[in-house]
Amino acid sequence: MKAKFKTTCSECNAPIKSGEEIAKNPAGKWVHKYCAPSSEELP
């Protein structure tokens, strides 16, 4: 899924820019797609 808004990755604390690929981690927080476990990625 692509980010619609700017936010901060809960895993690496780097900024997430709008348009970047994101996913939710097991805690339900938005993270970069590459920071999330593969089983938790959203389409």
Q: Would you state the pLDDT for residue 43?
A: 52
Q: Where are the domains of the chain?
A: 7-36
Report the chain's mean pLDDT, rounded to a whole number: 88
pTM summary value: 0.75
The total of other beta-carbon atoms located within 10 Å of residue 35's CB is 17
Residue 8 has pLDDT above 60, yes or no: yes
Q: Give CA–CA dist 34/37, Å, rounded.
A: 8
* More confidently predicted of 41 and 16: 16
DSSP assignments along 18-42, one per residue: TTSBEEE-TTS-EEEGGGS-GGG--
**Mean pLDDT over residues 33-39, rounded?**
79
Q: Give CA–CA dist 9/38, Å, rounded.
A: 16
